[in-house]
Structure 1
Amino acid sequence: MRLRLERTNFPRPGLYLTDTPRPRCGDCAGQGIHEWDYGDDTGEYAGTDWAYCPCWNPDGRWLLLPLPRRPRWLPRRGTGRDPWGPGGYSDEPPF
């Protein structure tokens, strides 16, 4: 197991300890998956299939520290103002 810390919001906000693929794996070269393209009856590209490499467990994650959810009344993205509008930067030459 190669462990790292990850902050995520799914399935609940928290700091998780997650497993990562083995960096020097000879099968997947550290990607954690095997990919192969396949074709249809005429030989044209029809998609890509993939499978997890045995060097990695993608379900291996453990919650270390639950984080509180953000209140709904707290704005999520800035102030909603246009930074290039009249309250932001000038549009007078030279730009």
Structure 2
Amino acid sequence: MRLRIHRTTWPRPALVLTDTPRPNCPDCRGEGGWDEDYGDETGEYAGTHSYLCPCWHPDRCWTLLPLPLLPRRRTAGQDPWATGGYSDEPPF
């Protein structure tokens, strides 16, 4: 198991310790899985199968530190008081 620290945003912001694929894996070559296209009985494209390599599992992660939700910033064009609280427009 190769662990690394990763920042996630879903379901809430947090730092997680997650598993990564083995870089020298002969099956997936460090990508964690592969996709295979398949066809129907006439040979036409019918879909894609996604396979996960046994060297890695994407659900193997542990939350280390939940991060606070930061309020959204407003730009100066959106909020007239963001430029210092003064406006040169008349009040009427």
TM-score, with structure 2 as normaliser: 0.74
Q: Which runs of 5 or more residues in structure 1 are unaligned? A: 82-95
Give the number of aligned pairs.
Answer: 77
1:2-21 aligned at under 5 Å gives the runs 2-21=2-21
Task: Quote the residue 2:90 is aligned against.
Answer: none
1:42 CA drift (Å): 1.7
SS in 1 for 2:10: coil
Distance 1:79 1:32 in 2: 41
Which is helix-richer, 1 or 2? Answer: 2
1:1-43 C-alpha deviation (Å, 9 max, x unpaired): 1111111111221111110000000011111113211012221
CA RMSD of aligned residues (A): 1.7
Q: Percent of pairs identical after alignment?
A: 61
Task: Quote the residue 2:24 is aligned against.
Answer: 24
TM-score, with structure 1 as normaliser: 0.72
1:83-94 aligned at under 5 Å gives the runs none
1:1-95 aligned at under 5 Å gives the runs 1-71=1-71, 74-75=72-73, 79=75
Q: Which runs of 5 or more residues in structure 2 are unaligned? A: 78-92
